[in-house]
Amino acid sequence: MSGNTSGSWHTDRTHDDFSAHPYSDGPSGNGAISQPYQASTTLAAAVGAHASGGVVTVGHLWEADESESGFPLPDSLLSPPRTFSERLVQGLEMLLAAVALLATSPIYFAIWAIIRLDSPGPAVFRQKRVGIGGRPFRFYKFRTLYVDARERFPELYAYRYSPQQLDNLYFKVENDPRVTRVGKWLRKSTLDELPNLFNVLKGEVALVGPRPEIPEMLKYYKGESRMKFSVRPGVTGLAQVCGRGNLKFFETLHYDLEYVKTRNPWLDLKIIFKTVILSIKRDGAF
């Protein structure tokens, strides 16, 4: 599948953050909300739709409001109830993350050395993301961008989008000029996500769930779209096996909400299995 070469895009989900800068209230804009998307596709069908070339059409799920700052959440999302089974799954995931980190440690240190030799800057970067209940945490990835990307391309970090721009917003595009030589290979192979396992080990991230959002985009979340933050974010998710980098912003949100509404252990296993297959095929990775 070919990558995105047109449409507006932002990539602070992949921006390498080397400073502890304060949270931003995010972008501002006045977008009229259209008819909410009525989810009619089951998750199992959604996974199969991408494999068969199916297309999901998505409308606006929120509007931006200049008068609102921060990210207030309902009490039910600020402190979502945790069942015994959920805590058990989290403990199992933390154990698996520890084993995986030990097993992949030679690969981890090899990548660390290659990145340091390829371009100036640290090999691992920390970035502020938003997790369950809207709580912030530090997300870990291997650095794939030049260390001065924000200074060289400040226009890509403004986060001010009109409704039309949001309709055509991609998170990643091919031939991103900020990506290093080694970074291109890391993204294609998905090895840049290997440090995510530290977040799993800390209990901040699940193996499967919506990918964590950046604070700068939170102001665009309203209404039903905030359900995304009622579960832990994931290393992989439904959107990652139904298009990944080829999905636009609203399409990704659609799959995130579908996962939250109908998630179950068997679906998680199916997503993990398909993630492995797509990573080998490098489908949607760039």
| H or E element in which residue 136 lies | strand 136-142
pTM of the model: 0.75
What would the pLDDT profile of 256-272 be if each residue is shown by its tens digit? 999 999 999 999 999 99
Q: What is the mean pLDDT of residues 39-61?
A: 38
Examine residue 33 and state whether it is found in any structural domain, yes or no.
no
Examine residue 8 and state whether it is found in any structural domain, yes or no.
no
Examine residue 232 and state whether it is found in any structural domain, yes or no.
yes
Nearest to 138 by CA among 23, 32, 9: 23
pLDDT at 281 over 70: yes
Our count of domains for the chain comes to 1
Exposed (0-12), middle (13-18) or buried (19+): which is 281, by Cβ within 10 Å?
A: exposed
Q: Which two tokens stand for residue 114?
A: 């290659």
In this structure, of 19-28, 207-216, 219-228, 273-282, the range with the lowest mean pLDDT score is 19-28
Examine residue 249 and state whether it is found in any structural domain, yes or no.
yes
Residue 141 — very low, low, confident or very high, per pLDDT cuts 50/70/90? very high
Supply φ then ψ for residue 260, to 5 degrees.
-60, -40
At 127 the three-state DSSP class reads strand
Q: Which two tokens stand for residue 6?
A: 């047109």
Which has more pLDDT, 196 or 163?
196
Q: What is the mean pLDDT of residues 219-246?
A: 90
| First-last CA distance in the chain | 11
Q: What is the mean pLDDT of residues 31-54?
A: 36
Examine residue 137 and state whether it is found in any structural domain, yes or no.
yes
What would the pLDDT profile of 91-140 be if each residue is shown by its tens digit? 999 999 999 999 999 999 999 999 999 999 999 999 999 999 889 999 99
Domain extent at residue 264: 43-62+83-281
Examine residue 191 and state whether it is found in any structural domain, yes or no.
yes
Q: What is the C-alpha separation between 102 and 108, in angstroms, rounded?
A: 9
pLDDT at 188 over 80: yes
Q: What is the C-alpha separation between 36 and 227, in angstroms, rounded?
A: 14
How high is the pLDDT of residue 162?
A: 84
Examine residue 105 and state whether it is found in any structural domain, yes or no.
yes
How high is the pLDDT of residue 38?
A: 33
Which has more pLDDT, 226 or 18?
226
Examine residue 273 and state whether it is found in any structural domain, yes or no.
yes
Give the chain's mean pLDDT: 77
